[in-house]
């Protein structure tokens, strides 16, 4: 049977106790779980929301993005490493809240464009970065789920075919892809 979740980005981009009444409503409306936005890295806040969700019997996944200064496909090794570290921080928030999956455009910086199509170097840097993040995710029992976006939001992965190929080439049991019909 299919499960239904509600993305908390409809109400907030952060996680704190002010969202608790909404969680009560989501449970009352009959949803099975929620998707937590992970844009801040306050483990205490994620532990609190995790406890609240457990008390309500709601499952949880999480969504995050990469940024210009933490881009897994950057030509600058320090920025690529910052991208891996940002993903590790997001994985830590998943562990703190009990989220089982971390999804989103975790492959490259959201809204960053090079002025050209992706390069083979970027492809390889992305595979290396996501393999490192997937290793860390596996240690924390979190599944990474790569989401492609339309060409107006990123240039690295824009279709299911490329995302499937990318995930196959990373070849890690803790990296999967999602098919989002909005971006198809």
Give the model confidence (pLDDT) of 87-125 as tens digits.
999 999 999 999 999 999 999 988 777 778 889 999 999
Q: How many helices (H) and strands (E) does the chain have?
A: 5, 6
Residue-averaged pLDDT of the chain: 94
CA distance 102 to 106: 9
Q: Is residue 89 in some structural domain?
A: yes
pTM for the structure as a whole = 0.94
Number of domains in the chain: 1
- In a domain? residue 184: no
Residue 21 lies in a domain: yes
Q: Which residues pair with 33 in a beta bridge?
A: 5, 59
In a domain, 183, yes or no: no
What CATH number did the domain enclosing 132 receive? 3.20.20.150
Residue 61 lies in domain? 5-178
Terminus-to-terminus CA distance in the chain, angstroms? 24
* Total Cβ atoms within 10 A of residue 36: 28
Domain assignment of residue 14, yes or no: yes
């Amino acid at each position: 049977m299919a499960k239904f979740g509600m993305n908390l980005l409809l109400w907030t981009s952060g996680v704190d106790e002010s969202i608790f009444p909404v969680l009560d409503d989501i449970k009352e409306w009959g949803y099975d779980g929620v998707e937590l936005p992970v844009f801040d890295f306050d483990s205490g806040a994620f532990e609190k929301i995790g406890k609240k969700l457990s008390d309500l019997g709601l499952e949880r996944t999480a969504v995050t993005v990469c940024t210009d200064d933490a881009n897994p496909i950057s030509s600058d090794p320090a920025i690529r490493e910052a991208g891996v570290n940002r993903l590790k921080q997001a994985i830590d928030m998943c562990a703190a809240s009990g989220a089982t999956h971390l999804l989103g455009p975790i492959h490259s910086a959201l809204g960053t464009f090079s002025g050209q199509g992706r390069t083979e170097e970027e492809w390889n840097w992305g595979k290396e970065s996501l393999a490192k993040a997937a290793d860390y995710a596996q240690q924390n029992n979190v599944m990474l789920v790569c989401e492609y976006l339309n060409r107006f939001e990123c240039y690295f992965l824009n279709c299911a075919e490329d995302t499937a190929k990318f995930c196959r080439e990373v070849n890690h049991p803790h990296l999967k892809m999602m098919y989002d019909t909005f971006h198809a």
